[in-house]
Amino acid sequence: MKTPQIKFYSPEDNTEPVSKAAVKTKAKPSGYISETGTLVFPKATLEEIGVEPDTALFKVGTAEGKRKIKSLYLIPTDDQEGAFAFSKVGRGSGISLAVILKRGGIDYQAVKHIFTVTIFNYSEGVIGYELAIGEEAPKEPYTGKPRGRKPKAADAASAV
């Protein structure tokens, strides 16, 4: 008897392929710009990027040659001079940059801006943070069933 050609399977062949749409991507760390011009970092964002707000000092910069600010760059430094420190803001921490943001064309008083934090290598052994600034998306209108009591004007009109 002749031996048949056999195709063998691996345990990986027995698993369903996972589509990229089905995989939930973890949201990038983010924060927002307050109405007073402060970059506000929630506590969870600071923990995720590994920044200790009590002791951290940063140099703050933007892309050179650009008039409007689209991204801010935070580079950790030990030098007290020319560095920005965190201050307590609500449940998080923040860096006040009101004048810089106003000069950079960000109207933080009229529109709420959010930013996402991306970690990058600035130089040998120095990790920097890029804050990509964008406007907050408007809230979708509520399309569900109205809740609570009916308005009295409707009750009076139906009784007549």
Residue ranges per structural domain of the chain: 30-135
DSSP string over 57-69: EEEEEE-TT-SS-
- Per-residue confidence (pLDDT) for residue 141, from 0 to 100: 82
CB 137 within 8 A of CB 112: no
Closest CA to 45 of 114, 96, 98, 124: 114
The predicted pLDDT at position 24 comes to 55
pLDDT in the model for residue 66 = 80
Q: List strands edge to edge, sheet with 84-85.
A: 84-85, 57-62, 71-76, 126-135, 113-123, 30-33, 38-41, 92-96, 87-89
Q: What are phi and psi of 7, to 5 degrees?
A: -100, 120
pTM of the predicted structure, to 2 decimals:
0.68
Q: What is the pLDDT of residue 142?
A: 81
Q: Express each pLDDT in 19-50 by its tens digit.
A: 655 455 567 888 989 999 899 999 988 888 88
Q: Tens place of pLDDT for every residue, the chain, 160 residues?
A: 576 776 666 777 667 776 655 455 567 888 989 999 899 999 988 888 888 888 888 888 888 888 888 888 888 888 888 888 889 988 889 999 888 888 888 888 888 889 999 988 888 888 888 889 888 777 788 888 878 888 887 555 555 5
What was the pLDDT predicted at 160?
56
Please report the pLDDT score of residue 25 as a whole number.
58
Question: CA–CA distance from 84 to each of 33, 52, 58, 59, 153 (Å)?
Answer: 16, 13, 5, 6, 56
> Tokens 């200790």 label which residue?
52
